[in-house]
Each structure stands twice: as structure tokens, then as C-alpha cells.
């Protein structure tokens, strides 16, 4: 029987739990911080001695913790890339710019349990010899920023932050920086540029790997809110103990933001890989199934940039069995365990943990038009394929969705989407804006072809005035394509 496994949201969802320090301390808060900061040096069999910082870093490697922001990159490995010999300060940034559509997990932590984030973050800073940390919080989270500021003030007042934390001689300050509302600020180098006060243009890698040339060209670690909370639990229980939660290489818990056409949308914490997509949607402990009389049409498993699954789709997974042989296993998408590796093997990703459920009451053309409009609006415009391609796709989809499609639109969309991702752009936004188009158009091609076929005949030389009239009448209450064509020809004549 699948059930929630609450580690990070253990207390946050309890009735009466408040985001203030006193409540956090009553629930055993900051005990782990004390433990972490005062770890005795450990001597290895070969005579080397491990400092407390090195011990924490080692525990994080052992825990197998993978980044919760979207890419699922191993946290311990990310920390190991940090240039610790540069002589420059090392910065740690908490990425709280939760902006992937469908995702609402980080805000649960920030709004309900900010001190858990701070404790994890202070430990992460300590482990990496960081003396100045930043929380880059999404601009729309005005209340969240206030809660964090209050929590930081409380922590400073109680000697948990600032000079000589808990009498251990460790100094750290953390500053909250509010974004101004751009999706691209969630990209770590875009975030760094934004934090430096510039346009959030993602940096080219090489040479600007944050671990070497990050904030102010100093070594920098950027970790997601949920990732940093996990650090606290890793230090508390030890890396190997943490690794027992979830499944191998997909350790710990995940906060799943379940939204769309389910009876019980919400944020659920699960053991990674122990719950399937189908259970998330249909189990009474989670989504509780679809609305009466509706059929499942599609699932987006990891935020809108993840590739969509079609209901009933069967995916073949290549897995290495215990005997080391590769076996190919065919599964229904709903039977896929919700973890990092399986969903990647199935051609999509768990991304930011946002599961969006779509039933048969909507057209996938409209769904994709909505998604593409978002990406066209959020493309920063720095590099060519994404800047021009995202808007082009959005324009085609808007036209298609408003009844002025062409039969070849589906092919065009696929062709455009093929020219954007896979390293052709500076950052992963190129992938994010083209994956939904690639997957939705190819998996629901009949819907796109049908819309394209029912659109008014494509006129090669469109009169600007005529098209605008057609657009108005097309969107103003589902006018028949022929009627809008008539309207446009009338206005051209006048």
C-alpha cells in the first residue's frame, strides 16, 4: 500500500506548527547543526585525519543525494568540483526561484518551515567553508521572503548565524535576494548574473562553471531548497542511513507537486522510486483518481519542460539486472516508479517533481499552446535558437489553437523543435522549450493534424489587417473558421 513518507515535511504539515524559531526548537531544531559543527576530527585507517567539513561532505557523497532542482545531479559530486585552492571566497546560493510551472514544493518549506532550510543551508555552508550565503528567492514569493528574513533575524539573535556560530568559531551570514520574476533566473548561471545585478543571461560553460567561476567569478555552489533541507537529515542520520530511504541511486524522499485533473491535487512527499506514476494519480493516498467520467489523456511527469507521457503508452526500459546482463523490460507508463533514473530511461524526467495530470476534457493542442506561450515569454533572448525558435513555435501553436492551422504545422513544429535542444543553446532552456513540443506533437500527432486540417486554407500572402481581424473573430467565442475568413475578406474589401 503506497503511502507518504514524510521526512522534510515531517513537522511542517502538523497542525499548530508555526514557522518561528521557538516552534522549530521545540521540535528538535538546530540540534543537527550543533552536531555537525562540533563533529570531532576522524582519523582514517591510513592515518589521515578528516575535518568535520570533510566528514559532512563525505556523508553527502555516501547519501547519494541528487539535486532536487530539476537536473538530478549528484550533490556530493557537485560539491567536489568546487575549487577550494583558488584563495577566493566560496559562495553558496540557495536556489529558491521555484518557477517551473506545476511546481510548488519549495514554497511549502519556505512558508511552513524556514528554519529547516536555514539549518540545512548553514550545514552545507559549513561543509564547504562558505562564509557568505545567499537565498535567491522568486520575486513573486513576497511573503516567503518576509518569512525568511524573519527566520534569519531570529537565527542571528540566537547565535545560529553571524559571527562565531554556537561558539564554534564559524562565521556565516546569509542574505535574501528577491528576483524580479523571470523563469531563467532559476538557471544557476542566470541566477548568478541576476544576483550580480545584471540581466540573467546564462553564462557559457566552459569557462564559467559555477564551481570555479561563479558569483563574482569566485567558486560557487548553487543548491535547491529541497536539496539543502536534505543536508540536515543526512547529517542527522548519516549518509548510509539516508541512502536506505528510496531506491539505489535514487535515495531519499521527493516532494511531488501533483496538479491537474486529479481529485486531490497537492504536495506529497514520497520515498523516491517506491511509488509509481499511476499510484500518484489514482491512489487515495495521493491524487485519488480523475474526475467522474473522465479518462486519463496524458501525464507530464516533471514540470512542463519534461517530455509528456501519453496514457496507455508503453515504454521499454533497459536495465542492468543483478547478473550484470542488460534486460529490456516493457512497462505501461503508469507503472513507472517515480524516480530519477527510470523516468530518464523512459525518455522523460522527474525534473522538479511536478506531476501534471491531463484528462480527456482538453485538447493537447491547447495544452501545448499554453506551455509554448510560457516559454516564448520566458526565453531570455541571449542565444539564437531559443530566442527565435520558442516564439516561432508559440506563434504556430497560437494560430493552430485558434482555428487557423495548416496541415503542415505539425511537421514544422517538430522540425523547429529539433533545431533548438541538445547543446545548441547556452543553457537548458533550449531543451526545456523544445522537449514538450517534440513529445506532445509526436505523441498526439492526430490532434495536431486534425486541427491543422480544419483551419482555414493557408494564404501565402496574408494582409496584416485581415489577419488581425481574423484573429479577433477567431478567439472571440469560437467563430467558425469560414466565418472568420469571410470577416477578413470583408474587412480587406472595405
Partner 1 sequence: MSTAAPASQLMGDGVRPATETIRIRVNGREVEVPKTMPDWQGKPVPTTMLQACEWAGVTVPHYCYHPKLPVAGNCRMCLVEYGTPALGPDRQPILNPDGTPRIVKSPRPAIACATPVTPGMEIYTDTPGVKAMRAGVLEFLLINHPLDCPICDQAGECKLQEYALDYGEAFSRFGEAKVHKPKAVDLGPRIVFDAERCILCTRCIRFTRDIVGDDALGIVHRGSYSTIATAPGRAFDNNYTLNTVDLCPVGALTSRDFRFRMRVWFLKETPSICPSCGTGCNIRIGSRQGRIYRYTPRPNDAVNSHWMCDYGRLNYKWIHRPDRLQKVEIRGRVSSWELASDQILQQLRVASPGSVGLVASARLSNEELWLLSRLKARLHALSDAVPREGEGDALLLHADRNPNTQGARLTGVCYTEMGSQLPLIWERIRTGQIRILLVFGEDVIRQGCDPASLDQLEMLVVCDVLPNATTAKAHFLLPGCAPAEKSGTFTNVHGRVQRFHAAIPPPGEARPEWQFLAEWVTRLTGESLPGHLPGLFNRMASEVRAFQGLTWSELGDLGRLVPV
User: Which positions lie near partner 1, rule CB under 8 A?
Assistant: 182, 199, 204, 206-207, 376-385, 387-392, 395-396, 399, 406, 412, 415, 419, 422-426, 458, 460, 462, 464, 467
CB of 383 to partner 1, least distance (A): 5
Would you say 69 and 227 are in contact if contact means Cβ atoms under 8 Å apart?
A: yes
The residues with which 224 forms a beta bridge, in sequence order, are 95
Q: Locate 373 and state its grid cell.
A: 506561450
Would you say 252 and 7 are in contact if contact means Cβ atoms under 8 Å apart?
A: yes
Q: Looking only at Cα atoms, what is the longest distance across the chain?
A: 91
Using the minimum distance from each CB to partner 1, give the nearer residue, 270 or 433. Answer: 433
Using the minimum distance from each CB to partner 1, give the nearer residue, 22 or 180. Answer: 180
Strand 246-247 versus strand 220-224 pairing type: unpaired
Using the minimum distance from each CB to partner 1, give the nearer residue, 246 or 385. Answer: 385
Three-class SS state of 364? helix
CB of 296 to partner 1, least distance (A): 33
CB atoms within 10 A of CB 85: 7
The residues with which 315 forms a beta bridge, in sequence order, are 331
Using the minimum distance from each CB to partner 1, give the nearer residue, 75 or 380. Answer: 380
CB of 467 to partner 1, least distance (A): 7
Using the minimum distance from each CB to partner 1, give the nearer residue, 291 or 459. Answer: 459
CB of 214 to partner 1, least distance (A): 17
Q: Locate 417 and state its grid cell.
A: 523543435
Would you say 379 and 428 are in contact if contact means Cβ atoms under 8 Å apart?
A: no
Using the minimum distance from each CB to partner 1, give the nearer residue, 224 or 473. Answer: 473
Q: Locate 231 and state its grid cell.
A: 543536508
CB of 387 to partner 1, least distance (A): 5
Identify the helix (H) or strand (E) that includes residue 134: strand 132-137
Using the minimum distance from each CB to partner 1, give the nearer residue, 189 or 227. Answer: 189
The residues with which 257 forms a beta bridge, in sequence order, are 267, 354
CB of 375 to partner 1, least distance (A): 9
**DSSP one-letter string for 300-329:** E-SSTTSPPEETT-EEEEEEE-TTS-EEEE
Would you say 334 and 277 are in contact if contact means Cβ atoms under 8 Å apart?
A: yes
CB of 479 to partner 1, least distance (A): 20
Would you say 362 and 323 are in contact if contact means Cβ atoms under 8 Å apart?
A: no
Using the minimum distance from each CB to partner 1, give the nearer residue, 315 or 428. Answer: 428
**HSE on the CB side for 480, CA within 13 Å?**
3
CB of 139 to partner 1, least distance (A): 15
Using the minimum distance from each CB to partner 1, give the nearer residue, 141 or 183. Answer: 183
Using the minimum distance from each CB to partner 1, give the nearer residue, 246 or 481. Answer: 481
CB of 97 to partner 1, least distance (A): 16
DSSP annotation of 333 reads G
CB of 431 to partner 1, least distance (A): 10
**DSSP one-letter string for 413-469:** HHHHHHTS-SSSSSSTHHHHHHHHHHHHHHHTHHHHHHHHHHSPPPPSS--HHHHHH
Return the ∠ at Cα 398 (arms to 397 and 399), rounded to 5°: 90
Amino acid at each position: 500500500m503506497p503511502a507518504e513518507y514524510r521526512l522534510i515535511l515531517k513537522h511542517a504539515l502538523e497542525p499548530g506548527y508555526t514557522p518561528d524559531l521557538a516552534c522549530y526548537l521545540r521540535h528538535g531544531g538546530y540540534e543537527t547543526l550543533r552536531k555537525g559543527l562540533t563533529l570531532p576530527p576522524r582519523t582514517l585507517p591510513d592515518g589521515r585525519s578528516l575535518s568535520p567539513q570533510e566528514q559532512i561532505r563525505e556523508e553527502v557523497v555516501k547519501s547519494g543525494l541528487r539535486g532536487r532542482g530539476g537536473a538530478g545531479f549528484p550533490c556530493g559530486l557537485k560539491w567536489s568540483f568546487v575549487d577550494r585552492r583558488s584563495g577566493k571566497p566560496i559562495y553558496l546560493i540557495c536556489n529558491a526561484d521555484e518557477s517551473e510551472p506545476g511546481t510548488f514544493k519549495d514554497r511549502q518549506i519556505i512558508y511552513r518551515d524556514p528554519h529547516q532550510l536555514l539549518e540545512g543551508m548553514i550545514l552545507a555552508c559549513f561543509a564547504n567553508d562558505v562564509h557568505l550565503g545567499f537565498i535567491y528567492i522568486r520575486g513573486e514569493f513576497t511573503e516567503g521572503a518576509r518569512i525568511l528574513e524573519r527566520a534569519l533575524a531570529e537565527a542571528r539573535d540566537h547565535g545560529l548565524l553571524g559571527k562565531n556560530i554556537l561558539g564554534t568559531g564559524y562565521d556565516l551570514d546569509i542574505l535574501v535576494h528577491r528576483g524580479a520574476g523571470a523563469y531563467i533566473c532559476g538557471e544557476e548561471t542566470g541566477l548568478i548574473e541576476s544576483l550580480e545585478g545584471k540581466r540573467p543571461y546564462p553564462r557559457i560553460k566552459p569557462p564559467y562553471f559555477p564551481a570555479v567561476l561563479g558569483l563574482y567569478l569566485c567558486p560557487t555552489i548553487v543548491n535547491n531548497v529541497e536539496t539543502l533541507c536534505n543536508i540536515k537529515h543526512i547529517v542527522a542520520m548519516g549518509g548510509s542511513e539516508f541512502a536506505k530511504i528510496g531506491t539505489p541511486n535514487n535515495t531519499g524522499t521527493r516532494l511531488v507537486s501533483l496538479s491537474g485533473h486529479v481529485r486531490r491535487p497537492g504536495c506529497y512527499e514520497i520515498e523516491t522510486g517506491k511509488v509509481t506514476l499511476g499510484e500518484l494519480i489514482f491512489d487515495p493516498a495521493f491524487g485519488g483518481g480523475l474526475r467522474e467520467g473522465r479518462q486519463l489523456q496524458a501525464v507530464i511527469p516533471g514540470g512542463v519542460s519534461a517530455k509528456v507521457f501519453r496514457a496507455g503508452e508503453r515504454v521499454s526500459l533497459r536495465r542492468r539486472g543483478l547478473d550484470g546482463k542488460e534486460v529490456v523490460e516493457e512497462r505501461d507508463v503508469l507503472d513507472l516508479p517515480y524516480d530519477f533514473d527510470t523516468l530518464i530511461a523512459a525518455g522523460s524526467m522527474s525534473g522538479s517533481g511536478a506531476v501534471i495530470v491531463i484528462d480527456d476534457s482538453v485538447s493537447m493542442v491547447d495544452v501545448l499552446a499554453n506551455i509554448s506561450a510560457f516559454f516564448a515569454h520566458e526565453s531570455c533572448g541571449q542565444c539564437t535558437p531559443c530566442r527565435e525558435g520558442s516564439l516561432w513555435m508559440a506563434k504556430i501553436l497560437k494560430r493552430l489553437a485558434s482555428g487557423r492551422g495548416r496541415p503542415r504545422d505539425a511537421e514544422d513544429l517538430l522540425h523547429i523543435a529539433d533545431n533548438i535542444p541538445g547543446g545548441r543553446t547556452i543553457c537548458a532552456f533550449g531543451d526545456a522549450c523544445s522537449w514538450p513540443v517534440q513529445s506532445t506533437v509526436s505523441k498526439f500527432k492526430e490532434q495536431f493534424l486534425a486541427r491543422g486540417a480544419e483551419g482555414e486554407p493557408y494564404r501565402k500572402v496574408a494582409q496584416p489587417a485581415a489577419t488581425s481581424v481574423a484573429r479577433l473573430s477567431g478567439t472571440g467565442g469560437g467563430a467558425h473558421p469560414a466565418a472568420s475568413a469571410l470577416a477578413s475578406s470583408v474587412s480587406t474589401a472595405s
